[in-house]
Each structure stands twice: as C-alpha cells, then as structure tokens.
C-alpha cells in the first residue's frame, strides 16, 4: 500500500502496530458522521434518489403479493452482485438451476444461489432482528457455504489481516489494507449504532451510502465482504421502512460502473471525497429505482392480463400464472412441485400455456436434459442481458 496516496485524514488515516507481528500500515476509518452538510449539487442528487425510492415504494405497496415479483428481481440482483466479484453465470442459467429441483453442481451457479438464499434469509430475519452483526454474520454463513472461499470462516469475523489488490498482490503492493482485526469490534459497534439510530439529520440515501462505504472499509470477513455489503443496502431500505421488500436492483448499477464503484470507495479513504461517493451512490439509486418501477408496472400489467385470460378456466393453468412470475424459467418438474399436480397434468398445463403464447421451449438443459420453458414476456421485463 502506498502511504503517499492517502492525503486526507477526513474519514480516517493510516496506522501501524510496530510492536506486533503485523508491521504494515493499514487504514483506520473514522467514526461515521451523524451530520454531514452536503453541497447543493449533491443534495439535489440525493433528493432525486429519495423521490425515485418513494415512487418505487408506492408501486411495491400496490402489489398485494410482492413475492410474485421478487423472484426474478432478486435473482438479477444476486447475479449482478456476484459478477462484480468475478462469478461467471447468466440469468437464464441461474433461474434454470433454481427451477431444476436438484443439487447445483456448477460452482458459479452455487455462488449465485447462495446469494439468493442469503438475501431471503436476511429479509426474513428483519422480522426479529435489526440490521446488526448477528444478522449479517448469519447471511454470510449462508453466502459462503459450500463454495469457493468456504475455508475462510463463513459467518465469523476475521481474526487476521487482509489486503486488497490484484490476485497476486502482497501487503506491499496492495491498493488497500483494511483495519487490523483488533479494531473490528469497536468499528462494528459504531457501525451498528449508526445504522440503527433514528436520526432525521441524515437522509436515508446518504445513510445507506455511508453504511456501505464503512462496511466495505472495515472489511469484517476474510471473503464475501462486497456481496454482503451490497445485500445490506436492500435490507436497510426495508428495515427503515423505505421499501416494502428488497426490490431495488442496486448491484446492476455497480456492475455497469464497476471500475468507478471501486475508485469512488477508495477515493474516500485516500482523499476524503465523500461527497463524490454519495453523488455516485445517489445517481445509482435513482437509475435503478426508476428502472425497477418501470419493470414492476409492466409485470403487473402482464400478470393481470394473464389472470383475466384464465378467469373462466377451471384447470391448473390459473395457478401457473403465479409460478412463472416467481421464476419465468420452468420445467415439468418445477410445475409439478409448485402446483402439486401429476406429471401429465403439469405437461398439459405447459402445453396450454404455450398455445396461449405465454411460454416458449428453450430446449433441454443440464444433467438429465430436462426441457426448459421460458415465459418470454416476463423474461423481457426483468432481465438485463443482451
């Protein structure tokens, strides 16, 4: 790490432990600010983000069963957040694996599936826990189970130094060295206090931006910090009553601007550029909230049209509507399980849906060569892939 790059102590500074076995300098973040005056341009960006979140929340409240719209949205968020860290997967493969009903063999798909399970677990825990160490350690244990990095203490705070840089970086060549592990308890105590304080002095978008920056800077785990830190943004918006469910796909923005995302975080540490980070974060919230609102509007329209088409149909076809909104990639087996019907009935339902133009065959996929069916309209409304 290059000490000369750290020219501001506004949000922390470099420290050393000369009497310990770890003699390299590390960055010690300052306490999170409970008040932060912002220049007008940044304040406007935050206001735009707040308005966009309000619109998204209003749409989310109108959906009587938001879980129907969460499936593909959460899968897209899980995929983008994982791809930022180098995971190679596609949304169609993620959804196919989820509907397959069999253990996931592919390492990349397991990583994305773990993120999905961690996000659902975190959302469920919000019913009994605030956003605390206990919550994010539980989600981290799920995230890192049976995947690359599993040996790096899933669910446990790190007990050794880490450094960030190229794959072969050493402490000397690393771009950034997070605080020494002995500081983690005190830093997380301040982080928890900040996140759970009911303060009207810090807008929620600014609060989320600061929360995420500090979590990534503390780097409490040996691995998986980025994914857990991004997952916490959605959970915090739900915990603070801003959104009814984690329906903001913020990692899509970070993935599209991956280099700038990392540079903005590092610029706060090196040069104290917190306003620039908050503006970048707020622009991302605005862009993704607007996109999510458009998607929800379109999905609701499609769902109501499908439901109207089968209102007089007494077969299991009506039940298929909810199934394909939870996951637009289905198989005979996934329809059997979801509707609790026989294989012939599931096949008949899929054929009827194909005749109505709801589904198209994607051919066979994975072990066993199961045929996949795609709900094209729903897929076009939720996916980011070209």
Residues 177 and 224 placed together within one structural domain of the fold: yes
The arithmetic mean of pLDDT across residues 40-60, rounded, is: 94
Q: What are phi and psi of 296, to 5 degrees?
A: -65, -45
Is the pLDDT at 263 greater than 90, yes or no?
yes
pLDDT-derived band at 106 (thresholds 50, 70, 90) equals confident
Nearest C-alpha neighbor of 154 from the set 220, 108, 85: 220
Domain CATH code at residue 240: 1.10.3290.10
265, part of any domain:
yes
Give the highest mean pLDDT range of 85-89, 217-221, 240-244, 247-251. 217-221
Nearest C-alpha neighbor of 295 from the set 73, 68, 62: 73
**Contact by Cβ (8 Å): 56, 247:** yes
User: What pLDDT score was predicted for residue 386?
Assistant: 38
- Give whole-number Cα distances, 203 to 61, 210, 301, in Å: 21, 11, 33
Residues 49 and 159 placed together within one structural domain of the fold: yes
156, part of any domain:
yes
Domain CATH code at residue 369: 1.10.10.10
Residues 100 and 175 placed together within one structural domain of the fold: yes
For residues 133 and 127, give the distance between their C-alpha atoms in angstroms, rounded to a whole number: 15
Counted residue by residue, the chain has a size of: 386
Which alpha helices (DSSP H) does the chain contain, by range? 40-62, 67-84, 91-100, 107-125, 133-143, 184-196, 204-218, 225-239, 250-256, 258-271, 274-309, 317-326, 332-339, 343-355, 376-382
Is the pLDDT at 93 greater than 90, yes or no?
no
271, part of any domain:
yes
Residues 253 and 359 placed together within one structural domain of the fold: no
User: What pLDDT score was predicted for residue 314?
Assistant: 80
Residues 9 and 151 placed together within one structural domain of the fold: yes
Q: In the listed set 295, 327, 359, which residue is the last one of a domain according to the structure?
A: 295
Residues 87 and 135 placed together within one structural domain of the fold: yes
User: What pLDDT score was predicted for residue 238?
Assistant: 93
How much is the mean pLDDT over the chain?
A: 89
304, part of any domain:
no
Buried b (16+ CB within 10 A) or exposed e, 303-322: beebeeebeeeeebbbebbb
Domain that holds residue 333: 316-382
Give the highest mean pLDDT range of 46-50, 129-133, 164-168, 315-319. 46-50
Nearest C-alpha neighbor of 215 from the set 323, 284, 291, 132: 132
254, part of any domain:
yes
111, part of any domain:
yes
User: What pLDDT score was predicted for residue 150?
Assistant: 57
Say how many domains are in the chain: 2
Give 109-153 as a DSSP string. Answer: HHHHHHHHHHHHHHHHHTTT--SSHHHHHHHHHHHTTTSTTTTS-
For residues 118 and 142, give the distance between their C-alpha atoms in angstroms, rounded to a whole number: 5
309, part of any domain:
no
């Amino acid at each position: 790490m290059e000490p000369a790059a750290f020219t501001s102590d506004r949000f922390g500074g470099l420290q050393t432990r000369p009497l310990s076995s770890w003699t390299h300098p590390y960055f010690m973040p300052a306490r999170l600010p409970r008040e932060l005056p912002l220049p007008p341009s940044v304040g406007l960006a935050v206001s735009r983000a707040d308005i966009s979140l309000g619109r998204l929340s209003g749409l989310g409240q109108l959906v009587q069963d938001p879980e129907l719209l969460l499936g593909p949205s959460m899968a897209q968020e899980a995929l983008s957040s994982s791809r930022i860290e180098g995971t190679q997967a596609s949304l169609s493969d993620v959804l196919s694996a989820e509907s397959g009903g069999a253990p996931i063999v592919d390492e990349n798909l397991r990583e994305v599936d773990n993120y999905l399970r961690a996000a659902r677990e975190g959302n469920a825990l919000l019913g009994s826990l605030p956003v605390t160490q206990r919550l994010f350690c539980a989600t981290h244990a799920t995230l890192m189970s049976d995947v690359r990095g599993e040996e790096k203490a899933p669910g446990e705070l790190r007990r050794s130094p880490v450094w960030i840089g190229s794959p072969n970086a050493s402490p000397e060549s690393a771009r950034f060295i997070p605080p020494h592990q002995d500081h983690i308890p005190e830093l997380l105590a301040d982080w928890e206090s900040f996140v759970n304080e009911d303060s009207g002095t810090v807008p929620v978008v600014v609060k989320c931006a600061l929360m995420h920056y500090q979590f990534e800077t503390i780097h409490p785990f040996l691995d998986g910090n980025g994914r857990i830190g991004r997952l916490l943004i959605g959970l915090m918006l739900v915990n603070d009553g801003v959104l009814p469910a984690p329906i903001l796909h913020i990692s899509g923005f970070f993935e599209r601007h991956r280099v700038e995302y990392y540079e903005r975080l590092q610029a706060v540490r090196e040069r104290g550029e917190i306003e620039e980070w908050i503006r970048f974060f707020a622009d991302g919230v605005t862009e993704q909230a607007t996109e999510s609102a458009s998607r929800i509007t379109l999905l609701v329209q499609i769902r109501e049209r499908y439901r109207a088409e089968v209102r007089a149909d007494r077969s299991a076809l009506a039940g298929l509507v909810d199934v394909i909104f939870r996951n637009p990639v289905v198989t005979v087996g996934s329809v059997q399980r979801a509707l609790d019907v026989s294989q012939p009935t599931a096949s008949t339902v899929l054929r009827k849906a194909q005749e109505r133009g709801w589904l198209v065959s994607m051919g066979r996929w994975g072990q066993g060569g199961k045929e996949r069916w795609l709900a094209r309209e729903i897929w076009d409304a939720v996916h980011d892939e070209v």
